[in-house]
Chain A
Amino acid sequence: MQPANGMPTPRDSLLRFRLPREGIYWLFAAAVLLLVSWLKAINLILLLAYLMLLFWGINFFLAGRRLSALQARRRLDDTVTAGTVSRAEIEVENCADAAQYGVRFVGRCNEQKQQWFAARLDPGQQFACAQTLHWPRRGRFVLPPLQAVSGYPFGLVQRSVELGEPREVLVLPAVGRLDVQRLRNFLSCASRGDQWEQHVARRLPTGMAELHAIRPYQPGDSPRWVHWRTTARRAELMVREFEEETSENLLVVVDPWRPQAHDNPQLPTRSEGDGASTFEDVVSLAATICCDLQRERGLRLTLIIAGPDPVLVPDASSPTGTRRSLESLAAVESCPEYSHCALLDTLDGLPESPLLVLGVEPEGLLRSLSGAHVRPAAVLRAADLDRYDFYEKPHAR
């Protein structure tokens, strides 16, 4: 797991002031007592009212006085997948020269709120906690900065400050499980073997493959690839990267089209939700293919995400290519009708490879491909995914 660094940056955070409900009631009661006691010349009640006001004043002065001296670091997982729960490790340090009391930290993520409470933070003391982050969907999210709130000592006044900067998090699509061999068999059957079997991979054993580079460890790497000497020197896991000849090519095209909800009674009934969920299945399938085929040596995967502006990931089977594929798939949005010309132009520039089309209902795309004399090796529709034995959806685990 490659941690993302949550380093403190110079911030322009404002010290926000808020009057909580208790403070409002307190001030109201004090004002009433003050007014009545002054009018009726009840001196003891007047003293009592002044005491109440002054306690509020003391709270106003003390609340959150040193919140600005707090510095927070938040470490997130570099890879976050939809439908999973990740953790962010937070460390807050009191950089003030005096202790702080009664500070509550609030972490928000996707309308969920988590809170922690530190009764006392001495100067230089660190406060560690872990924020549970739920990512129900893929896409780009902004993780708000940690908020420090204090109403010390009575809670009649509240001040808050944001620690750190908002963080943009790219949630990758959920990944299922792919049986590569069965996929090969399916592709062979679907394409009648003429295209696919021409490109049988000649895999080289790992030991005979040429060493291409040494790179940091990534999830999915085999422990056998660890280069221990470099690891010891750098105090960081480093793995070998081999140069291999790939002789299998596969072109995966993702059609972002999905049916929209309509009021036409002549057409089959559709709902917005149905379309969205099946499109997510398509995206998950594409992500699964990219991830699982990455481990297949000798297979060169090219990913194209169709759309008005197609996204091409030429080396989707490499680690960096897989990452890029996932990031592209994370950001893809479904769209209604779009022109296939850009896609066809992109395809023209690519070497001939078996074409795998993924989509909710890619009939429109297939027609365009047919018109361009491009015959896909296989078409995987979202509605049919349950019938395929080579793929297991993410939620079925």
Chain B
Amino acid sequence: MRVDRCFRTSFYLSLAWACACMAYVAALDYPWEVFLAAVPLGLLLGVAYLVEGRWSLSVWVSNVLAVAVAALAGIYFARYFAQGAHRIDADWPLRLLPHMSFWLVVMMVLKCFRPKQVGDYWVIYGMGLLAVGLGCLLESDFPLGLLLAGYAFTSVWSLSLFYLQREHWRTQRPAAVPQPSSPAPPVPWRYAGLGQAVRRCLLACAMAALLFVVTPRHLGLGWEENLLRSSQMQSGLGDSTLDLNRTGSLRLSQEVAFEVDADLPDGQPKLDLNPEQRWRRNILNHYEAGRWSYVPRGGAEGKRNRPPPTGDAPGNPDGSLPDLGDGQFYLKYTFAGRLRWQLILADPLVLPAVGSPVVFLLDSEPTPVPAVRYADGELRFPLRRRHGLYRSYRQVTAPLPEPDLGPPVNVDEGQLDSYRLLPALSGLRERTGEMLNKLVERGRLSGDDIAVDGQGRLPDDRHERVARALENYLAQSGEYTYTLELRRKDATVDPVVDFLVNVKEGHCARYASALTAMLRTQGVPARVVLGFRGADPVGDGQYVVRQSHAHSWVEVLVQRPGPDGLPRRHWLTLDPTPGEEVALRDLSAWGRFWRAVSHTGGEFWRNFVTDYNSRQQEALWRRLTTGFGLGPAFGPLLLGLMVGGLLLVGVVVWRRRGRPVAAPLAAAAFYMRLLRIAARHCRLRPTPAQTPLEFAAALAEALRQRGCRTWEDFPRRVAELYYRVRFAGLPLPEAERLEIERRLGEFEAAVSRRPLWSASVENPTAAS
């Protein structure tokens, strides 16, 4: 295959891969739009490939098209800003990034239809690189990483062929304008150079990975946290509301929401934190038009006061946290980002007595500030602007006999009504009734359990049973499945009703909302809780909670008899979200295998690429030093090896830079020439045990057989001369050297059966 054709193929393949990277990123938000645009643009790219060198756009047509594209882009962006729709809420001009990609690809495809010189090819390469860079700015998941690897491979392949092509153009004419009629040389590698490209790409990727891992990182926010802080279509807690009207694909953000240091009272790290530990942030008690929000009711219980010190403990240095008895442990929360006025606490809250703070704000001056308990059982810091946006506080907690049951609360009737309040949602009560009847049919509930009073409310002693049954139905029945693809079927009904009746799939927010709404229809006080579930241990009692751990669940107000036998109200935690194992049940063995592989790959990608930061680096370093048992010496040793290696490479390169190139055995070059002539024209090479004179005798015999008797004696003369120069150390005079070279030229002409001074060819050839 010729270089020009192979280069053209590789060039367009590289472009197509760059467009694919960009299309993948854009498709996450605008799948249909990308599909509608990708088909014609892909076809245009294919047409450009086919007509390359045979047809091109004229100057005025391309100018008109460029103006038209610019005008369309202007209209598009004007409309975009006029609508006020923002995918990202970062500052200008970052808001434009998701929308620039399409226009960049359009310009790139249009440019492919113009005649191209070397500079034009570089510009198009640059545009492809820009498209890939934009993609990397907007997304960083594992599939994009695979696309990036593919782009790197096609680019390496294409650049190698581009070098050959432009060198060939350079020798054709100074302007390097490609001429279709110019015969390009064949591709000098096997398989069109794909093997070489793979090897170089792998080598570069391996070294880039090493450099990437050891590059020092500064302490700062990750790019995603800065740029893509959107609660709409990304997991994580954005604002304090829950909007069920939004649809689309929810992406799991791996950004760290906060870090927790868990310590035991003796100061040792707590390494066995519950992997399903919940962290509550705020509750939502008001539902309207598909949105949950919080409407405060009731005030703080008692005044803020500091209890007497309860004794020193390493996790309680100032002695301000109460002693909760056996099993207690301390949690210190640290936020890299800015947490606005919200407390995130381990759930359930352990409140030993009214007025005893279990949480203290640490980075306020001059003394730690305790949180205040509110009537609904929540803890909040007093809203003081001077506290600003805090980053660190401490909580003491202990395991409860019943992990899902919170402490007793004093909720008045007014607050109770707020937790029963629900707008009239058409179809919700009916659907709830159907579900309850099904539960009765299956024996999970009895008929008495679901009997309501005159106000349509369930008796207080039935709340827990019914709530647990409904929770179990949503989570385990199989009728509802978990997905991150949020969609609506009937936009005329409430999102909760649509979910329960039509869609029957969603994520935790939908399930929590549905259970809360259903319970409220039965008069059961319930509320939605926003927070996190789970934590990733990083060692030494440190845990990180990511945005992907964001979760919603339900709290139901139930009655339990107290120590004195009187009923007391508690918030019972319910989690109606089905686990992944429910979804996996429907997968085949290959599906489960693929899911496991992609999950593992995704984890690795997340830990070592997208979320790799100074903390990860430190943890990896720690793992290496302890793993190899080198201790503190590992760092200096590795650094020394790297620095030494770099210095060595630098010295070698520097010395090779200006080193005179000595001709190998210049004095005996004539003998080497004889060997080459013999190898090429007589197919005769000296064997390892053959001396030069013996080889000369063999060559003489070969010449006799070829009929070149006049040259029989020549090899022996050359061998004797070689002995004289090489072993006797006698220098070869210049005149004799010239003479022997001249004779070698005659000898070569004689054995190749061609005249000595043949007419040279016009075009450069490689004489075989």
A residues with CB within 8 A of B: 1, 3, 5, 7-15, 17, 22, 25, 29, 33, 38-48, 50-51, 54-55, 58, 60, 68-69, 71, 75, 87, 89, 91, 93, 95, 99, 101-102, 104-105, 115-121, 124-130, 151-155, 161, 235
Chain B residues whose C-beta falls within 8 Å of the C-beta of A128 in the assembled complex: 760-761, 764-767
CA distance A101 to B766 in the complex (A): 13
Cβ–Cβ contact B764 & A44, under 8 A: no
Cβ–Cβ contact A118 & B164, under 8 A: no
Q: Which of B119-176 contact A (CB under 8 A)?
A: 122, 126, 129, 132-133, 136-137, 140, 144-145, 148, 152, 156, 159-160, 162-164, 166-168, 170-171
Chain A residues whose C-beta falls within 8 Å of the C-beta of B170 in the assembled complex: 104, 115, 117
Given the interface pairs A89-B760, A154-B159, the reply to whether A8 lies near B656 with Cβ below 8 Å is: no
Chain A: minimal CB distance from B604 (Å): 14
Given the interface pairs A33-B133, A125-B766, the reply to whether A47 lies near B148 with Cβ below 8 Å is: yes
CA distance A139 to B760 in the complex (A): 26
Cβ–Cβ contact A119 & B185, under 8 A: yes
The residue in chain B whose Cβ has the minimal distance to the Cβ of A46 is B212
- The yes or no answer to B746 lying at the interface (CB within 8 A) is yes
Chain B: minimal CB distance from A245 (Å): 36
8 smallest CB-CB distances across A and B, nearest first, come from A120-B188, A130-B760, A10-B666, A44-B136, A116-B764, A68-B661, A50-B208, A7-B741
CA distance A87 to B144 in the complex (A): 57
- The yes or no answer to B704 lying at the interface (CB within 8 A) is no
Chain B: minimal CB distance from A290 (Å): 26
- The yes or no answer to B266 lying at the interface (CB within 8 A) is no
- The yes or no answer to B725 lying at the interface (CB within 8 A) is no
- The yes or no answer to B768 lying at the interface (CB within 8 A) is yes
Q: Which of B484-524 contact A (CB under 8 A)?
A: none
Cβ–Cβ contact A127 & B609, under 8 A: no
Given the interface pairs A8-B669, A47-B609, A119-B3, the reply to whether A55 lies near B164 with Cβ below 8 Å is: no
The residue in chain A whose Cβ has the minimal distance to the Cβ of B766 is A127
Contact pick for A55, options B156, B171, B209, B679, CB 8 Å:
B156
CA distance A33 to B137 in the complex (A): 12
Cβ–Cβ contact B133 & A41, under 8 A: no
Chain A residues whose C-beta falls within 8 Å of the C-beta of B86 in the assembled complex: none
Which of B77-85, B216-224, B637-645 forms contacts with chain A?
A: B216-224
Chain A residues whose C-beta falls within 8 Å of the C-beta of B672 in the assembled complex: 95
Which of B46-54, B198-206, B451-459, B576-584 forms contacts with chain A?
A: B198-206
Given the interface pairs A116-B171, A235-B710, the reply to whether A42 lies near B764 with Cβ below 8 Å is: no
- The yes or no answer to B239 lying at the interface (CB within 8 A) is no
* 29 A–B pairs (Cβ distance < 8 Å), ordered by A: A9-B666, A10-B662, A10-B663, A14-B658, A14-B661, A15-B657, A15-B658, A25-B122, A41-B218, A41-B613, A43-B611, A44-B136, A47-B148, A47-B208, A87-B760, A93-B676, A95-B664, A95-B672, A99-B188, A105-B764, A117-B167, A120-B185, A125-B768, A126-B766, A128-B761, A128-B764, A151-B167, A153-B200, A235-B746
Cβ–Cβ contact A7 & B737, under 8 A: yes
Chain B: minimal CB distance from A201 (Å): 36
Chain B residues whose C-beta falls within 8 Å of the C-beta of A104 in the assembled complex: 167, 170-171
Cβ–Cβ contact A153 & B159, under 8 A: yes
Contact pick for B660, options A13, A87, A151, CB 8 Å:
A13
- The yes or no answer to B730 lying at the interface (CB within 8 A) is no
Chain A: minimal CB distance from B189 (Å): 8
Cβ–Cβ contact B185 & A117, under 8 A: yes
Chain B residues whose C-beta falls within 8 Å of the C-beta of A129 in the assembled complex: 760-761, 764-765
CA distance A157 to B137 in the complex (A): 29
Cβ–Cβ contact A55 & B204, under 8 A: yes
A14-B661, A50-B212, A117-B185 known; 18 new pairs, CB 8 Å cut-off, are A12-B661, A15-B661, A40-B223, A41-B217, A41-B221, A43-B140, A45-B133, A54-B207, A75-B757, A102-B164, A116-B764, A119-B3, A126-B767, A128-B766, A129-B761, A151-B163, A153-B196, A155-B167
Chain A residues whose C-beta falls within 8 Å of the C-beta of B218 in the assembled complex: 38-39, 41
The residue in chain B whose Cβ has the minimal distance to the Cβ of A13 is B661
Cβ–Cβ contact A102 & B661, under 8 A: no
Chain A residues whose C-beta falls within 8 Å of the C-beta of B766 in the assembled complex: 118, 120-121, 125-128
Q: Scan B570-608; emit 1 where CB is below 8 A from any A CB, else 0.
A: 000000000000000000000000000000000000000
Cβ–Cβ contact A44 & B145, under 8 A: yes
Chain B residues whose C-beta falls within 8 Å of the C-beta of A235 in the assembled complex: 710, 746, 750
Cβ–Cβ contact A102 & B167, under 8 A: yes
Cβ–Cβ contact B164 & A48, under 8 A: no
Cβ–Cβ contact B609 & A14, under 8 A: no
Chain B: minimal CB distance from A110 (Å): 17
- The yes or no answer to B738 lying at the interface (CB within 8 A) is yes
Given the interface pairs A43-B612, A155-B167, the reply to whether A54 lies near B208 with Cβ below 8 Å is: yes
Chain B residues whose C-beta falls within 8 Å of the C-beta of A119 in the assembled complex: 3, 164, 168, 185-188
